[in-house]
Amino acid sequence: MTWSSFPCYDRVYHRVHHRVHHRVHDRVHDRVHHRVYHRVHHRVHHRVHHRVYHRVYHRVHDRVHHRVHDRVHDRWSTRGPVVVYQDPVVV
C-alpha cells in the first residue's frame, strides 16, 4: 500500500506543513526583528540620551554661571573688590 492510496494524506500533509512553515517563519522573523529592533533602539537611545543630557547640562550650567556672575557682580558693585584676609590656621 502506498501513500497515493490516501488522497486525503496529501491535503493533511500540506496543511500541517503550511502551519509549521508559518510558525517557524514567524519565530525567525520575530527573533531577527527583535535583534534589529534592540540594536536600533540602543543606538537611538544613546543618541537621544546624549542630546537630552547635553541640553540639561547646558541649561544648568548657564543658570549656575549666571547666578555666580550676578553674585560676583553685585559684590563688586557694592563694596568693590574685597579681599578677605584670614590668618592661616595652625594645627
Residues 6 or more apart whose Cβ sits within 8 Å of residue 9: 3
3-state secondary structure of 90: coil
Residue 86 to residue 88: CA distance in whole angstroms: 6
Q: Read off the pLDDT of residues 24-44 as tens digits, 9 standing for 90 and up.
A: 888 888 888 888 888 888 888
Residue 13 to residue 84: CA distance in whole angstroms: 95
Q: What is the pTM of this model?
A: 0.29
- Residues (pLDDT < 50) of the chain are none
Query: Can you say how many angstroms the Cα of residue 42 is from the centroid of all Cα atoms in its chain?
Result: 5
What pLDDT does residue 5 have? Answer: 60
Asked if 21 and 27 touch (Cβ cutoff 8 Å), the reply is no
